[in-house]
Amino acid sequence: MRLLHTMLRVGNLDASLVFYQAVLGMKLLRQQDYPEGKFTLAFVGYGEESNTTVLELTYNWETERYDLGTGYGHIAIEVEDAYAACDAVHAKGGKVVREAGPMKHGTTVIAFIEDPDGYKIELIQKNTGNDSYSK
């Protein structure tokens, strides 16, 4: 077994594709419209679906916004340098909601950014700290 994808509902597919490609450097792997269902699916990621986990962006044509609720947490992406990644996000017009630095009660260097729909994305600096998920 392996994790295939995580699905996020987005209110503006074009803005989301720009964010995930231009700001986070992902590739658009595939996209398909479903006219009878009035939705579009777009899959983005850092590698092919055959061997990496990807994001499925679901755009329901008649829905411009979603309430994120209190149950959603975040997506985590490993980066070489969280400080440089935040600088790059700023330079590309992205929103950093927690600048890079050690996590509270730990030593792993993390940052948080936000996509156009308000979904949080944690940037975890590779090989920092001794926290279990940073190894």
Q: CATH number for the domain including 88?
A: 3.10.180.10
Q: Are residues 48 and 82 in the same domain?
A: no
In-domain check, residue 110? yes
CA distance 82 to 12: 27
What is the count of structural domains for the chain?
2
Active site residues: 122
> Is 68 contained in some domain?
no
CA separation for the pair 78, 22 (Å, rounded): 17
Each residue's pLDDT, cut to its tens digit, for the chain (135 residues) gives 788 999 999 999 999 999 999 999 999 999 999 999 999 999 999 999 999 999 999 999 999 999 888 878 999 999 999 999 999 999 999 999 999 999 988 899 999 999 999 999 999 999 887 654 544
The pTM of this model reads 0.82
Question: What is the SS3 assignment for 5?
Answer: strand
Confirm whether 70 is domain-assigned: no
Are 110 and 84 within one domain? yes
Domain, as residue range, for 38: 5-60
